Structure 1
Amino acid sequence: MAGGRACDPPSPRLLLLSLLILIPPSRACMETVLQNGTMADAELVVPQLTVPSSCACCALCHHHDTCSSISFNAVSGACRLYSSVPDFSRITVDADSALFVRPGRSNHLQFCRHDSDCVDPAAAGDQCHGRVCTDDPTVTCRDLAETMGAPMNDVYYGSLDGVTTKYYCASHSGIDGWTLISRMTGGKGSWSRTNMMQRNVDSPDNPTYSQLFRANDLRAAGVDTTFQILVLFDTSVGFHGTVPVQQSLEVNTYTGTSSVTSVTLIGAMDAAKAILPWMPSAGNALLSLTTDQGSVYYFQTLINTAGTPYLGSAQTNSEYYVRE
């Protein structure tokens, strides 16, 4: 500059700060699914960068009109800007790389945070259910596995009648898409007929967990004429079977008949204990397992006729799944 000193170029840190200031909060990048990962290099808008924070990575995304999502590795600082929004079929698992989407850029079955993010003209009925753009207000583990390509044995966002919730989704006996509805670890402990219906519902990986109050809604969520149940004791012994979809998982009386067909025993399960009647109780009861102990009927969390949980000495852990 004539007659004066030229300005020093701004530091990269200052440039990032100025970019952050220019982004309205409503348009910032939003973290989406619980799974961390990255997309292929072919999706990159620019070569991978290194920045100090996810906010800085987001700011760079907003500096590129073609950037629709990012992944940020909190350990290495790796910032990857992508030209599209990820879905389960296009991410490679990376535990340290969180995924974020830019608002208003998600197509069908891609990740989202709000209904307004879903803008696919070919899927005009899509809304953000379970943090995925879909026209189905109920997203179960079976949907995640079969329709969206999500790997199993992990915690996911799902949706039940339009309400976002968390599920633990499992693969067992060669079948994907089991939705965990109850888990008891270490004996009956502090369980009761009250808290067995709803316990730690936002933490489906918790050793003590129950969303049994949703069991009937889940079993009726599919389009088939039947649904399936899976009962595990200590993860390796149990059974799975098929139930007519009209059979409620809540009943008031024990009829002495079984509605479960095509029962497959798992591990060392005793065939004599694979009869599946309905448990008698003072109020609503849930699907139970008859044992050889006379009048005591066992549900997954092993509720006895007195209405309290019970676990035998050989069965200290149990899990109960539904697949609609």
Structure 2
Amino acid sequence: MQGSGAPRPQTESLGADHRDLDDLPLGDLAATLVDSQAAALTAMRHALPDVERAISTALAVLRAPGGRLIYCGAGTSGRVALLDAVELHPTFNWPKDRMHVLLAGGVQSLGEAQEGAEDDAEAAARDLAALKVGRDDVVIGLAASGTTPFVLQAMASARAAGATTIGIANNPGAPLLGAVDCPILLETGPEVLAGSTRLTAGTSQKICLNTFSTAVMMRLGRVYRGHMVDMRATNAKLRKRARAIVADIAGCDEDTAHRALETCNEDVKQAILVLKGATPDAAAALLEKSSGDLRRAVSALEASGSS
């Protein structure tokens, strides 16, 4: 916990130009709020080398069959983490049992802020122990201040168990950045509303996690030629999207793509391989051999056809 003599974190400070923000004409107020968040993108660009290192380090763990992604946060940071995590399954078909989110205060913190929960370090230790975290896990901790006890304890417990740890904070010198394997500083500076990290700091964290998780999923073979080929077609909109994906990659019309998807039980990657000349059984075998990586499966199919 920050002592009384410690410098105030930047995210708790007020920008010198924003003291009369609440008195501005509405148009100027909205423009100032929008412009202030440009700092989120600038901070992210400065952090790109560290983000790249975090992606590379995470991939080395997550390529293992049981590798898990575990997010940890409190308040705004926890809710940003949850949003990234829950989108991994519908977007990339990332297995639900390989993704977990630890929120200070539990799931009730989603509907009602549980601000005191961020100080409960013991709860973080219990949550990590319940998941039996170990070497096959990547644990990501988010805290704008970088001082949140819940997140710091989660990182300490994860690291002690042999997990790979990634920490994202918005203040230089934050303890979180020194407590993880892969620190990412998103230096967004003072907020236009002092201490409200749902603004620029929160925006920067969302950009960071968008970049991190999308790049990881791409490198794990869950994207091919710009398309979400691992998506599950579970409603009318997604079934239409699946047909468009198959048609674009296989170079056919959507009726042909639809028939291939029906043959392959709506599996996008399998349907693409069928339209490239494989039987359904051969397509399934190619995907199994390539660990689901469509690019590798397509290369293997083309190589077999030319030999």
For the criterion TM > 0.5, the same-fold answer is no
Q: Which has the higher helix share?
A: 2
Task: Tell me the TM-score normalised to structure 1 length.
Answer: 0.25
Q: Could you tell me the TM-score, scaled by structure 2's length?
A: 0.26
Q: Which has the higher contact order (CA 8 A, sep 6+)?
A: 2
